[in-house]
Amino acid sequence: MSQAITAAHTSAIDALHTAYVAALDQGDMAAWAATFAVADETSYFCISAENDRRGLPLALMYDDCRGRIDDRVSFVTKVWVGTYQPYRTRHFIQRLSCESAGNNQYRVTSGFMIMMTPEGGATTILTSGEYRDLIEIQGEGDNARAVFRERRTVYDADVLPRYIVFPF
Amino acid sequence: MSAHSTHAYTGEAPKVWPAKVNQIPKEVFGDAALFEEELKKIFYGDTWHAVGHAAEVPNIGDFKTFDLGRVPLLIARGKDNQVRVFFNSCTHRGNQLETSVSGNRKEFECPYHRWLFSLDGTLAACPGSKEFAPDFKQENFGLAEIKTEQFLGLIMVTMGNPPPLKEWIGESGLPTLTALLGGDGRLKLLGYQKVRYASNWKGYNDNDGYHAPLLHTGFRLLNWQGGKGFQRMTENGHVIFEAELKPATGNGFLKDPSLIAFKGSNPERGSVITQLFPMTVMTKHMDVINLRFAIARSHEVTEVHYAYFAHEDDSEELVQHRIRQSSNLLGPCGMVSMEDAAIFQRIHIGNQTPGFAEFQKGVTSLTEIPMDVKQNDETGNLPRWEHYRKVMGFKREGEQ
Ligand code: FES
Ligand SMILES: [Fe+2]
């Protein structure tokens, strides 16, 4: 755990966070999925702080394998189209901690806030929360690239202010 | 009156309800003053309201708070294992007693003057009581309970005087509700999805049997057909729905079709809904057991706590399957339910216009409230509207 993080790894992790935010803020679900590893054991969970705190396993989004992540993209882009009221988001992230987990992997936590603007409406806060990530660095040196092996999004809102289309 | 005639939108409740039973005046969806009347006549009236399930507070000292309209409630399990529903208000000067959504306590203490209540509501301590009013008796100041009945752990409350719970639900609805609650109500809480919809509670509650194959493109893409079933209504506004489950193939659309696998044991009751007047929807669909505890916050905000359960006898594998299926299928972000949530809000906006919501699918008479309704009809909602009309005291056009 004491092994110091290299500048290349730090900037790869920064770039991953940026890519994630850019994908969602542009509503680009394929780009969102591309921030995750292609390995089957890759997961995205989005769970309320209440469930998380109480040890209740139920989530708002429970993608416990790579196939589920791809299926979420299909639902947002192919199935739900035309039914929901569009909204745009702005994600803001603040990294809180980063620790080596060995094997070129890092446990990273960040605070986040998501602003939401419904089409034709004013901007409000959708929710804030914490990202708890297992990030893997693939490739070496200048080619080092970071991907999520696991992103656990714990959102603060005890009651969400609307129904949800996009991942947090 | 022609089909296109309208009540001008006045912001007031309609004085007259149309004679045609398939027309609902849209005015009832956007009226703040009407909401106050609904609180009195429905939410605080002679109707039972679901506020929780005993499995949400499984251990002694467990509690959850909830609201009935604007009335704060405290649901707690006592040392005697009884689940009681109190008004969440200190019996001294009325301070909100418990502020947390849920938790576990040895007793409830009001911080204002430190009155202390046991889990069964008894007032255990009240500092300075020697100088209290001459008629003060400690035993008279236990927490006030709201009238409560349970059915297989489902906790129902009322501020009025409805018939006994089973009678109110109706004989015809009990087998479906029993199946929905796992046969014996021995459920285990998996967690919640909680959300506010910008919708009148009646719009939230007006989903129908007609829309499913049409709104939800997912059903077609996944080659997911509904099996044979029925829709049954009661005079007091409940809807009971049952359908056989035909396994969905996924049609190659999903990379992970295991999500929509059915691992339970009763495909003949694979899809079951009990919708109790005024706004409790409970469903068991595939392996998802979902009780939706709803709060009418105002004429334009409805809050829904989707609570999901496993059964106590489930294998570890089945619990795990229920967790992933429940999380992804039927909530405010669910594969085949996000669209319903979108409709709740869109229909609320659209209903701020003059005229009527027009029910069509399954209507065979313009004067009789339909009680014989097919699975994919939208007429199953009309007995509920009729019950609503009567409870609210709206006269039909031409009625004396
Ligand atoms: S209001 Fe609760 S102790 Fe006084
Ligand atoms: Fe639906």
CA of B126 to the centre of ligand 1 (A): 9
pLDDT digit string (tens) for chain B, length 400 residues: 333 444 444 556 666 799 999 999 999 999 999 999 999 999 999 999 999 999 999 999 999 999 999 999 999 999 999 999 999 999 999 999 999 999 999 999 999 999 999 999 999 999 999 999 999 999 999 999 999 999 999 999 999 999 999 999 999 999 999 999 999 999 999 999 999 999 999 999 999 999 998 999 888 888 777 789 999 999 999 999 999 988 777 778 999 999 999 998 888 888 999 999 999 999 999 999 999 999 999 999 999 999 999 999 999 999 999 999 999 999 999 999 999 999 999 999 999 999 999 999 999 999 999 999 999 999 999 999 999 999 999 999 988 7
Phi/psi for B141 (5° steps) reads: -115, 30
Ligand 1 nearest atom to the CA of residue B97, by list position: 2
CA atoms within 13 A of residue B257's CA, in its CB half-sphere = 12
Ligand 1 nearest atom to the CA of residue B113, by list position: 3
Per the CB < 8 Å rule, is A160 touching B195? yes
Sequence ranges of chain B with CATH classification 2.102.10.10: 49-150
- Written as one string, the DSSP assignment of A63-89 is E-SHHHHHHHHHIIIIISTTTSPPEEE
- Predicted confidence at residue B218, as pLDDT, reads 86
Strand ranges in chain A using DSSP code E only, listed in sequence order: 43-48, 61-63, 87-102, 105-118, 124-138, 145-155
Ligand 1 binding pocket, CB closer than 6 Å: B 90, 92-93, 95, 110, 112-113, 115
Per the CB < 8 Å rule, is A68 touching B343? no
Sequence ranges of chain B with CATH classification 3.90.380.10: 174-387
Give pTM, 2 decimals. Answer: 0.96
Query: d(Cα B302, Cα A162) in Å, to the nearest integer?
Result: 10
| Cβ-nearest to B339 among A50, A59, A80 | A80
Tell me which residue has tokens 């708070």.
B65
Q: Is CATH 3.40.50.300 what the domain over B174-387 is classified as, yes or no?
A: no
Provide the ipTM: 0.97
Q: Is CATH 3.10.450.50 what the domain over A7-155 is classified as, yes or no?
A: yes
Per the CB < 8 Å rule, is A70 touching B255? yes
Cβ(A84)–Cβ(A165) under 8 Å?
A: yes
Per the CB < 8 Å rule, is A85 touching B345? yes
CATH assignment of B49-150, among 2.102.10.10, 3.30.70.520, 2.30.31.70, 3.30.9.10: 2.102.10.10
For residue B292, give Cα distances in angstroms to A25, A119, B1. 31, 29, 39
Residue A70 touches partner B, C-beta closer than 8 Å: yes
Angstroms from A55 CA to nearest CA on chain B: 9
Write out chain A residues lying below 8 Å of B221, CB-based: 78-79
CA of B109 to the centre of ligand 1 (A): 9
